[in-house]
Amino acid sequence: MLLKKEDRKSKWNELRGGTDLRKMNKWCKLLLGMFTGAAIIYAIKKYMCCKTFLPETLKTFSTPFKPRQAPPKVESIYPDRQTFAFRHNSPIWIEFNMPMNSATITKETVIVKSSASKEPVDGLLDTGSRMLMFRPYDEYPTDESGAEITITLLGSETGSGFIMDERGIALDGDGDGKPGGDFEYTYRIIK
């Protein structure tokens, strides 16, 4: 039993589970072609080292391939709450996960407040590449039961600036993985 060439191809496609492109409707072929074209353009843009070799039409393809840069965040804070509870003039150290722009770390962007006072706590603010230290000039203000001391690092624009790293990316203070948001940490002083 001899089969025609077309019948043999159809039988072969049926046996191997493939699709016979001659029997697909025009819309399926169009969509398949568009998907294939997009995949080829994506692969070319993704893996080409230099854009000068690409034709002008591929240079304007608007899919971004740069990974988003991670914003800076607070990595650790010292002292711990138990140590701080009994030291009424303890300095506070904050370490960041990457080098920060020390010009943005000022008394306007680092605010230390006590629940026993309406005014911010006055003190020395010392900055390094990845470290910040606040030391009060006097003891933290307390009332008869003690006080809550809150340190706030501004990561959002509030008119007085915000803290950013050396790349110019704002501090991720709220921990959502995006630049912006204020970081707050509260200590309790026991009298």
CATH number of the structural domain spanning residue 101:
2.60.40.1220
Confirm if 68 and 57 have CB atoms less than 8 A apart. no
- 129 within a domain of the structure (yes/no): yes
Query: In this structure, are 176 and 105 located in the same domain?
Result: yes
Query: In this structure, are 93 and 61 located in the same domain?
Result: no
The torsion angles phi and psi of 81, rounded to 5 degrees, stand at -65, -35
Q: Of 61, 72, 95, 75, which Cα lies nearest the Cα of 165?
A: 72
- Please give the structure tokens belonging to residue 174: 């709220």
Identify the weakest region by mean pLDDT among 39-48, 77-86, 88-97, 113-122.
39-48
Say what the pTM is: 0.63
Is it the case that residue 46 has pLDDT exceeding 90? no
Range of the domain at 49: 25-66
Q: How confident is the model at residue 6 (pLDDT cuts 50, 70, 90)?
A: low
- The average pLDDT across 18-34 equals 69
- What total of structural domains would you count in the chain? 2
Is it the case that residue 138 has pLDDT exceeding 90? yes
